[in-house]
Structure 1
Amino acid sequence: MTIAIDLGQLVTSEAKQALALEAAKSIALDAINTKIAAERAALLTDMVGQEMIYLAKEAEAKAWQAEINPDLADYPLLAAEVGITADDADALAALWLLMADQWRKTAARLEAIRLKAKADIAAAETLDAIESVESGIVLPV
């Protein structure tokens, strides 16, 4: 005896819609992460270890400014760049701290956009709601 089973009847319309919604959410999250990554990449130097250099420069600049009578020999990154990017260590340290502050503010804006979109997509109950989240993203200039 053979029993025919229609597998299409095992997967309900609601289940298909739920799967489609979850797939759309995953695709939307990937698209948003890609968009944010592209914005970050436009502001970053893409070289191995460069982020570490920038963090070390920021740390040296803070230490330089905190010191009463700093010796440039104790600050190798500052010493290496004085006369290239700025005429003296004070100006260079101030520039590095300004750049770090600007990056941090931009990074915070981008992260807020990414996290809000992520939460809105997770809460979306329809494909239109997901599309609305994606189309509503405005990135800082």
Structure 2
Amino acid sequence: MMQLNLTHDGRDYAAWTPAQLIAAGVPQGVVLGAFRSARKSEIDKEAERQRLHWITPGAGQAMTYARKVEEAKAVLAAADPVPADYPMLAASIGIDGADIVAVATTVLAMDAAWAQTGAAIEATRLRTKNNIDQASDIAAVLSITAAWPQPAA
């Protein structure tokens, strides 16, 4: 059972189970609120783990992906794109495509695929957290599971 940390009526409770908190006189509503909050935090962490099945972690990598998408859109809008004008995409020539246009096309296809998967993960995360908020007791919170999208085998 999940252990909770909370303060109630000036007393700190660290690493107590819901049953222990209730037995100590903490109102069930207070315990349920703390339990919901802790469970929703777990859902947020699991959503991030699920995202990492598809993407590379790190703020720098996220910035790189965003820049590649920006450059890819510019390449496809340009009449005669010059690779030197698109350094992030140029780094992938010969890997993600034979030329700058092919790389741009690949990047945008990958971004579109991620948008679908990312949206499915976000919908699952939000729906699950909403279900937790609607749960009437701890047993109901415990019964809520998330059906995360799965990577292809």
Asked if Structure 1 and Structure 2 have the same fold, meaning a TM-score greater than 0.5 normalized by the shorter chain, the answer is yes
TM-score, with normalisation over the residues of structure 1?
0.81
For residue 117 of structure 1, what is the amino acid of its counterpart? T
TM-score, with normalisation over the residues of structure 2?
0.75
2:148 aligned partner = 139
Kindly provide the CA deviation profile for residues 83-120 of structure 1, in whole angstroms up to 9, marking residues without a partner as x. 23321112111110011111111111111111111112
Correspondence 1:64 to 2:75: yes
Quick check: 2:120–2:149 contact (8 Å CA) kept in 1? yes
Correspondence 1:126 to 2:146: no
Unaligned residue ranges in structure 2 (runs of 5+) = 1-21
Query: Structure 1 CA distance, aligned partners of 2:134 and 2:57?
Result: 34
Structure of greater Rg: 1
1:3 aligned partner = none
Please state how far the C-alpha of 1:41 moved relative to its aligned partner: 2.0
The equivalences for 1:78-89 within 5 A come to 78-89=89-100
Query: Counting strand residues as a fraction of each chain, which structure ranks higher?
Result: 2
Query: Counting helix residues as a fraction of each chain, which structure ranks higher?
Result: 1
Please state how far the C-alpha of 1:127 moved relative to its aligned partner: 1.4
The CA RMSD measured in Å over matched residues stands at: 2.1
Moved over 3 A (4+): none
Query: Structure 1 CA distance, aligned partners of 2:40 and 2:89?
Result: 40
The equivalences for 1:41-56 within 5 A come to 41-56=52-67
Query: Structure 2 CA distance, aligned partners of 1:96 and 1:90?
Result: 10
Report 1 or 2 for greater relative contact order, CA contacts < 8 Å, sequence distance ≥ 6.
Answer: 1
**For this pair of structures, how many residues does the alignment match?**
128
